[in-house]
Amino acid sequence: MSSSDNSFKHVSLQDSQSIVGYLEALSAGLKQGALLFCTENKRLVLKPQGLIKLEVEAKRKDEQMKLTLKFRWNEESLGEGDLAVRPMTMGDDGR
């Protein structure tokens, strides 16, 4: 597999309901232990295991909003002492 086969990037405009579908697909893939990313000519499968580092970044600048989600893991799972496990809370009141 060449290095270009080791990455996947997709950029598009979607409505919030379509994004919910993508998030549900990610959730299902995480539960099943495999994430499949594909287009007409490209396919990438990632198999998360062990502890996964989660990064959430939310920004507001004037009328522009940004939400970034990152998941990172090694093929060899991290030990429990390698990373602090901290819960994240999100309110549902829109604030």
Average of per-residue pLDDT across 18-40? 94
Which of 27-31, 59-63, 74-78, 89-93 has the lowest average pLDDT?
89-93
Within the chain, where are the H helices?
16-32
For residues 54 and 85, which has the higher predicted lDDT (pLDDT)?
A: 54
The β-bridge partners of 64 are 61
pLDDT digits (tens, 9 = 90+) for 43-82: 899 999 889 999 999 999 999 999 999 999 997 754 555 5
Q: What is the pLDDT of residue 80?
A: 53
The domains of the chain are located at: 3-82
The tokens describing 4, both together, are 């270009």
Q: Is residue 91 classed as helix, strand or coil in its secondary structure?
A: coil
